[in-house]
Structure 1
Amino acid sequence: MLATLWIFPAGAHTSAKSEVRLEATETGIAANVAIPAAEYAYASGNKASNDVASLADAKRYLRAHTAIRSADGPAWKVAIGDVRFAENGGAPDLLAQITYDPPAGAASDRFDLQWSAVIANTPDHVTQVVLDKNDLSGPRLIGLLREGNTKIAVVAGKSSTVARFVSAIRVGAEHILGGLDHLAFLVALLLAAPLLARNGQWQSLRSGKEAIVAVAKLASGFTIGHSITLISVALTGLTLPGSAVEVFIAATILIAAFNVIRPIFAQRELWIAVLFGLVHGLGFAGFVREADADLTRNVSTLMGFNVGLELVQIVVILAVIPVLLFIARRGFYSPFRITAGTVLIASSGFWMVTRTLDAVA
């Protein structure tokens, strides 16, 4: 985890993401695609322009990076329709229409979508796949694609409440797994959990039971905080600008990282976890709102998204805490902790600077 933060300091949430919006037709599936033009140009090496040659290059690129196969195996016919570069609510995007037609006899309501445009060679880029007008519940965010995860199973027919709940769990889990900043904050809290502070220094160790209780409080506080914000924003629609939220999230990691090296909120970890959880919840809520899908339209999908977040959080805790408790009782925990805290400070500081520059640009 810490090595990943060091090597890929920009690998937290990005504002530039692609969208593939699918809609069932009488014969197959139609897709409306939006890819940030700058990301497309970087990944493809092509010019992001509306001249004939550039648009032809864009069509070839898209055709080479998408496919659909039915659940029983046959590949569908893919046709790239209208392609253009235009502003789409802000920075220029590559906008495209794609049709997928199944071979004769192949099932058209269950298929695997393969999509690797941009994400194949851009580690921090995300493509969200939305199923539009699949039933009366409206559009449904069915998953996130990124480097190493370029295929997703789609059920285009009417979805049940249980299916939407399960889909929302997957989206929540994928979202937090792709957000190194949220995971970095959690790791920063856990690094100090085995320790007791005296005279402004980390000087002694908690017992195993005390450390587990401390971790439970931290996890509960963070969960309470981000759940309150997520639900409140979903119900009211009120939130802060996304650029400001991302800067605040980086600031919470920076503070938690300094606490790893020297206790600055000892004995107040629970309240800090709740307070900082409120800030991270704004980030989760911003993602949900930008998705423009049915995550906010009913309680079950919103709960599913939150469950997905919590499942990943639990897995991280179960993986990290035994290791930390083992290391803490060895003579090298202090240099390990200080090194880890320094890496987190460097990463969060980098995020704060780059996000602030993005916000004022």
Structure 2
Amino acid sequence: MRFILSLLLYSVLTCASHGHVVQQLFVDFSADESTWMAEIRFDAGIALPEMRADKEAMQPKRQWLIDKTPAQHAELRKQAELYLRQCFQFYWVTPSTETPVQYTVHFPEWETAPPQFANPFTDLGFAYFSIQCSGLIPESGGELEVRVSEGDNPDFAFGYERVGSDRIVTAYPGKSLTLWTAESTPPTAQQSFLSFLDYGYRHVVPLGWDHVLFIAALCFLSFAWRPLLSQSLIFTLGHTITLALSICNVIPAIAPASMGWIEMLIAATIVYIALENIFTQKLKAHRLLTIFIFGLIHGLGFASVLGETIRSSGSIAMPLLAANLGVELGQITVIGFVLITLLWAKEKSYFPTLGKIASASIALVGAYWMVQRLLAV
């Protein structure tokens, strides 16, 4: 029980409210016999050190970029390049050597005067620009590898132009990823599927604290595996539907201001489920309908972080299936963890009281998030 309370306290401190936190940058990778290029769709909101430090700052708009002076544009380019070189490094790897790659950086939007900042991600007026990293392919061959630095850095999702943009693989902080080999073999469909699977899983464990608490709250009304699995699956169905509708543009793209309200509603769903655990004696049929509706709400939150990744892949069915399967596996992980952690207390007379204490703690965390997110809005 002490561990559960410590977990709740940690979640309050680390995930209290959401501002503009960049979790992933998208990269179009291409190569021929002599050169390679990685074009990053760069979020201008992390170009400047002071903006990266302010986790509560909202994402700047395209007009913010347009209104900058030439000197300010030059500083943006300088700081963006410094940050990018800090985030990841390229290496040529052979069985016997590892050689850092000296690559050039180019900003194509500034080839015109004034810059146009045309980018697929400016549909809502967000501030994005492109950064092209390019280099030579050595005659000796080998593998081109990217390594993302550990720490509070974004993921980098690499799409491959020459094989169709539905092949996407992701490089995470502290990890490496092979981008090109002498055989010029692109990622397979299986690798792309596993990448989206992993991406969905990571958005529950370890990144999705509100998702983790919601699933954990489900465990304290019915401490049986089958009902919990049913609730998890119906929850996944709900957020899969919303995510699919968002990707297909049936649901309009969500503006940053509206995301604050959605995040507040997500916190409210945690409070509701936790309080229901306290005031309800047993699992009732309407719980599944409630969880399904709450899944639709959580799907709007997933659309803000998973939607662009899937949409940019150029394919919907496979990435959507893989990402949501990853989310479901993450949810099952949370359920399994709670069941195993509290298995020792299942037959104790005080177990119902223990569940109500845990539910009350979860409700308090959710209420705390609701207030913080309301104030942030």
Under a length normalisation based on structure 1, what TM-score does the superposition of the two structures give? 0.75
1:319 to 2:325 alignment: no
TM-aligned CA deviation for residue 255 of structure 1: 1.1
Contact 1:2 1:340 in 2 (8 A): no
1:190 to 2:207 alignment: no
How many residue pairs are counted as aligned between the two chains?
331
TM-aligned CA deviation for residue 67 of structure 1: 0.3
Report 1:211-250 matches (<5 A): 211-235=224-248, 237-239=250-252, 241=254, 243=259, 244-250=261-267
- Identity over aligned residues, as a percent? 21
Distance 1:58 1:155, change over 3 A: closer
Contact 1:81 1:97 in 2 (8 A): yes
For the residues of structure 1 that align with 2:374 and 2:160, how far apart are their CA atoms? 34
Q: Which whole-Å deviations, capped at 9, do the CAs of 1:180-227 have from their partners, x for residues lacking one?
A: 111111011112223xxxxxxxxxxxxxxxx22322332232233223
1:37 to 2:42 alignment: no
TM-aligned CA deviation for residue 33 of structure 1: 4.4
Correspondence for 2:208: 179
For the residues of structure 1 that align with 2:39 and 2:373, how far apart are their CA atoms? 32
Contact 1:135 1:158 in 2 (8 A): yes
TM-aligned CA deviation for residue 12 of structure 1: 6.3
Q: Which whole-Å deviations, capped at 9, do the CAs of 1:41-71 have from their partners, x for residues lacking one?
A: 247779x972656754543343233202245
Q: Of 113, 122, 128, which residue of structure 1 is paired with 2:146?
A: 113
Partner AA of 2:31 in structure 1: T
TM-aligned CA deviation for residue 141 of structure 1: 4.1
1:67 to 2:94 alignment: no
Q: Of 190, 200, 214, which residue of structure 2 is paired with 1:162?
A: 190
For the residues of structure 2 that align with 1:38 and 1:345, how far apart are their CA atoms? 33
For the residues of structure 2 that align with 1:44 and 1:233, how far apart are their CA atoms? 28
Under a length normalisation based on structure 2, what TM-score does the superposition of the two structures give? 0.72
Q: Of 144, 150, 153, which residue of structure 1 is paired with 2:177?
A: 153
Q: Which whole-Å deviations, capped at 9, do the CAs of 1:74-112 have from their partners, x for residues lacking one?
A: 33223333398998734555753323445442335xx43
Correspondence for 1:142: 169
For the residues of structure 1 that align with 2:282 and 2:50, how far apart are their CA atoms? 43
* Structure 2: segments with no counterpart, 5+ residues: 1-6, 55-67
1:305 to 2:318 alignment: no
Correspondence for 2:107: 82
For the residues of structure 1 that align with 2:162 and 2:208, how far apart are their CA atoms? 28
Distance 1:59 1:15, change over 3 A: closer
Distance 1:142 1:175, change over 3 A: farther
1:7 to 2:13 alignment: yes
Correspondence for 2:273: 256
Q: Which whole-Å deviations, capped at 9, do the CAs of 1:205-260 have from their partners, x for residues lacking one?
A: xxxxxx22322332232233223333444445325736143332222112122234
Contact 1:34 1:94 in 2 (8 A): yes
